[in-house]
């Protein structure tokens, strides 16, 4: 039983094996942070979670959730800054209903079976810093609509079915803060213009020439620390090489 009117709920890294209650949203009215990450949760994501209008961080990653992402979850624009659903069994398509004043800063859906096309409305999320759609089945050309998001720091599209040339990144104003781009294992064609790398200043070393250390076996990305109200949420990425 969830405590009513709780502000911060973290049940991550346990051995819970139930499904998410259908009325979960009734218990999250005042909740800002809710995590069930790294358990054995199964079943669908109930639509009642959208009743949690104060929610800023929703982390259901590393479970066995299935079904589709609720349309209402991507349509909201109140306060949700972090949506982490990585490493589940979610299917269907990514809803194309992100609102004009989307508040997302992190969207991580890595490691599901999401297909269909890339949602063009995602470009409405102008505060987006981390977008990780890797290891899915998305079939589309490169999402040029993301050029509008100058805050983007991490873009992971690896291991999907993206295809065709990447012609839209030749402008020098694209992603001045970009530090990580991973488009491996797709079906892109054509050439990679050298101008791509010259314009991404945030990837370069500092004044002393220092660059990030890369582990031989894995690459660990410490991306950001978000202060959403009084909630601090650290986002880490581990990508095997």
Whole-angstrom distance, CA of residue 52 vs CA of residue 26: 8
| pLDDT tens-place string over residues 184-220 | 999 999 887 666 666 777 777 655 555 544 443 344 4
Whole-angstrom distance, CA of residue 139 vs CA of residue 6: 40
Which band of pLDDT confidence, cut at 50, 70 and 90, is reported for residue 227?
Answer: low
Q: Which residues touch 216 (CB under 8 Å, ≥6 apart)?
A: none
CATH class of segment(s) 8-208: alpha beta
Strand partners, 90: 67
If you average pLDDT over residues 33-57, what whole number do you get?
95
Q: What is the pLDDT of residue 9?
A: 93
- 172-to-48, 88, 156, 169, 189 alpha-carbon distances in Å: 43, 37, 20, 8, 21
Q: What is the pLDDT of residue 230?
A: 41
Q: What is the pLDDT of residue 174?
A: 76
Question: What are the residue boundaries of the structural domains of the chain, listed by start?
Answer: 8-208
């Amino acid at each position: 039983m969830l405590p009513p009117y709780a502000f911060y709920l973290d049940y991550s890294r346990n051995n819970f094996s139930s499904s998410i209650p259908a009325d979960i949203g009734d218990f999250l009215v005042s909740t800002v942070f809710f995590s069930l990450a790294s358990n054995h949760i199964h079943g669908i994501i109930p639509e009642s979670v959208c009743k949690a209008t104060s929610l800023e961080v929703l982390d259901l990653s590393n479970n066995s959730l299935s079904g589709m992402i609720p349309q209402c979850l991507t349509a909201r624009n109140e306060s949700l800054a972090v949506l982490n659903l990585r490493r589940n069994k979610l299917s269907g398509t990514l809803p194309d209903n992100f609102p004009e004043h989307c508040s997302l800063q992190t969207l991580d859906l890595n490691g599901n079976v999401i297909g269909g096309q890339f949602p063009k409305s995602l470009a409405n999320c102008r505060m987006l810093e981390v977008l990780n759609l890797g290891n899915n089945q998305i079939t589309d050309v490169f999402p040029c609509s993301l050029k509008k998001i100058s805050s983007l720091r991490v873009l992971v599209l690896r291991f999907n079915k993206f295809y065709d040339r990447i012609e839209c990144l030749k402008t020098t104003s694209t992603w001045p803060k970009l530090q990580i781009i991973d488009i491996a294992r797709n079906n892109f064609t054509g050439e990679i213009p050298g101008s791509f790398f010259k314009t991404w200043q945030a990837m370069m070393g500092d004044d002393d020439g220092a660059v990030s250390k890369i582990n031989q076996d894995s690459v660990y990305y410490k991306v950001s620390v978000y202060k959403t109200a009084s909630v601090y949420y650290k986002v880490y990425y581990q990508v095997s090489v």
